[in-house]
Structure 1
C-alpha cells in the first residue's frame, strides 16, 4: 500500500484550505443577499457586517417585489427570450457543427477559420447597432434573439464532439436511406447528449443574464427583460413605486434596500435551480467536446 509523504499531505491540506476559502468567498455574497432580503429593513440599514441568518424574519419585501408590474412583465419577456433564443441557438449551432465536422465539406477549413476569426475580432458596438437598425429589428424582441443566434465557442465544442463520431456510422445510416437531418437528430445528437446538455445550459444562462443588448436595442419598457429591470432597481434605485404602499412605520429608505436584495434573489433563483439537473452532464460534456481537435 502506497504511503504518502509529509509533503504530499501538506500539499493536499493546502489545496483543501484554498478550495474551502474559495467556496466561502463565492457562496457568502449570495447568503448575505438572501438573509438581508428576509431581515427587518431597519436592521439592515443600521447594522453592517457579517450576516448569516435573518434578523426580524419577514417576507414582506417579496410581496412588494411581486406586486411590481414591471417585474412580472420582465419575467414574461425573459422567458420568451430564453425559450425562443435557446431553441434558435441550439438549432443553428447543431446545423453548423454537423456541417463543419464532415471531412468531405468543401472549403470547410476556410469556413472554420473565418468563424474562429470572429472570436478575436469584431466590428464593435456601433456597426452591430447599425446592422440591427438596418434589418428593422430595433425595438423588437428579435433584436435580442437573431444577432446572438450562434456562439462561436459553443459551435467549436459541438463540432469537436461530432467529429469524434466514426464516419462508418454516418455511411451506414445513409445506406439505410437516412438523410442528413435524420443522421443529425437521430444519431449525432443522442450520441453527444452530454455536450448538447452543457451547451444548452450555456445558452440558457447567456439569455437569462443578458441585459446590455436590451439596453442598446430596446426603447419600449414593455419589452424589457427582468435583468434590465433589476439593473434599474440596483443602479438607478427606482424602487419608489414599490415602496409607495409600504406601511407607515417603515421608512422608505430601509424598505428600498431590502427590496433590492429580494429582487436579486427573485431574479437569480430560477436559473440556479436549473444547475442541479445539468450538473451530471457538465464535466463529461466539456471533456467530450474538448478532447481531439
Structure 2
C-alpha cells in the first residue's frame, strides 16, 4: 500500500470542500422552493429570502391535490414515462444487439444511425410525419417519434460487442437460436446498461414538454410538465388547474402554487434515481471502451 504525501492529503481535503460547496449550491434551489411552497402569503411578501417557513401553510398543496386536472396530468406523465421507457429499451436493445452481430448490411445500417445522430429532419418535417400517421393529439406521438436515441444505441451496441464471443458459440452449440441467446444470456448480462439507459429515457420522458405542446391539442392530455409550464411560466394556475371545475373560492397566491407544483413534479423522478444509481456508472463505463 502506497503512503500518500501531505500534498495529496491536502488536495483531497480541498476537493472535498469544493464538492461540498457545489452540492450545497445545488440543494439551495430545492430548499428555497420547499420553504416558499409551505410559507404563508404574508411571509412571502415580507421576505425576499426564505430558507425555512416561519408559518407552515399547506394551502398550495391542498389546492393542487384537490384538482382532478393536476392528477390527470400526473397520471398522463406516469403513463408516458413507463410505456415510453419500455418502448425505448425494447427497440434500442434489439437494434443494438442486431448491429453488434455480423449481419448483411451492418455497416450501412450503422452509418444511417450515425447520420441521424448528426442531423435531424427538423420540426416541420417531423410534424408532417406525425400528422400523416394520425398521431396528432395522441399520447403515442410523445413516444414513437423518440423510440430510439442514436447515442444510447451506439453505446449499447458497444456494450453488447464487449460480451465474450465464447458465450454465443457455447449457446449455439447447445442449440439456442438468436432470440434465445438474446433473451436468456445477453439481457441478463446487460442489467447495468439497461438500468442506466432506462434512467436516461425515463428522465427524458418525465421532463419532456415541447413535443406535447406541438402534438397535443387537448388540455386533458397534457403531461405534468406542460401543466407546470402553464402554472410557472404562463402564470395561468387557476385556468390550467380548474378546467371547468370549482376549486377553492379564494385560491392561494400564484407564487406558492408555482413552488408547490415544481416540488410535486420533481420529487417522483428524484425518488427513482437512488434505486438505479448503483448501475449508473457501471452501465456507462462498460460500453465506453472497445477491447
Task: Say yes or no: does 1:161 pair with 2:159.
Answer: yes
Q: TM-score, with normalisation over the residues of structure 2?
A: 0.92
Q: Is the CA contact (8 Å cut-off) linking 2:84 and 2:143 kept in structure 1?
A: yes
Moved more, 191-200 or 233-242: 233-242
Q: What's the counterpart of residue 84 of structure 2?
A: 85
Residue deviations 1:114-155 (CA, integer Å, cap 9, x gap): 211222211111111111111111111111111000011111
Q: Say which SS state the counterpart of residue 290 (structure 1) adopts.
A: coil
Instruction: Give the drift of 1:5.
Output: 4.0
Instruction: Give the drift of 1:8.
Output: 2.9
Corresponding pairs, count: 287
CA-atom RMSD in angstroms: 1.9
Alignment of 1:1-293 (within 5 A): 2-49=2-49, 51-102=50-101, 104-241=102-239, 246=248, 255-292=253-290
Q: Is the CA contact (8 Å cut-off) linking 1:77 and 1:224 kept in structure 2?
A: yes
Instruction: Give the drift of 1:2.
Output: 4.9
Q: Is the CA contact (8 Å cut-off) linking 1:45 and 1:257 kept in structure 2?
A: no
Misfit runs of 4+, over 3 Å: 1-7, 241-248
The separation in 1 between residues aligned to 2:227 and 2:143, in whole angstroms, is 19
The separation in 2 between residues aligned to 1:245 and 1:98, in whole angstroms, is 52
The separation in 2 between residues aligned to 1:45 and 1:155, in whole angstroms, is 50
The separation in 2 between residues aligned to 1:45 and 1:290, in whole angstroms, is 51
Q: TM-score, with normalisation over the residues of structure 1?
A: 0.92
The separation in 2 between residues aligned to 1:126 and 1:233, in whole angstroms, is 27
Which runs of 5 or more structure 2 residues have no equivalent in the other structure?
Answer: none
The separation in 1 between residues aligned to 2:272 and 2:138, in whole angstroms, is 27
Which runs of 5 or more structure 1 residues have no equivalent in the other structure?
Answer: none
